[in-house]
Amino acid sequence: AQSVTQPDIHITVSEGASLELRCNYSYGATPYLFWYVQSPGQGLQLLLKYFSGDTLVQGIKGFEAEFKRSQSSFNLRKPSVHWSDAAEYFCAVGGATNKLIFGTGTLLAVQP
């Protein structure tokens, strides 16, 4: 079955600390992988995506993610978190069909 698992429902980090949000997927074909962010009152904004090529992907707002096929993972990282990064983060997988399969989301809180 195709699925995405985000094991951390809620994470709190201090401003300036590093961040890693976990994402594992199950997909029967070559996956296309995405991270979206939803800030309060806003829609989903694409942070980064992986289709092929370099497995370390750079995105907006200083985020990056690494595709590890052997671990079926696509974890999101940021070296230094800012207060404005507080939001909900969604990992998603797509492929030959256009529909995206999302994880349940990780809610990030940033402490001053």
Positive or negative torsion for Cα 96, 101, 106, 108: positive
Distance of CA 98 to the CA centre of its chain: 19
CA–CA dist 66, 48 (Å, integer): 11
Q: What are phi and psi of 47, to 5 degrees?
A: -90, -45
Q: Which of 11, 13, 19, 44 binds another protein (CB under 8 A)?
A: 44
Cβ 102 to another protein shortest distance, Å: 4
Give, as one character, the DSSP assignment of residue 31.
P
Q: Confirm or reject binding of residue 1 to another protein (CB under 8 A).
A: no
Cβ 49 to another protein shortest distance, Å: 6
Q: Confirm or reject binding of residue 74 to another protein (CB under 8 A).
A: no
Cβ 5 to another protein shortest distance, Å: 10
Comparison of 19 and 100: residue with beta carbon closer to another protein: 100
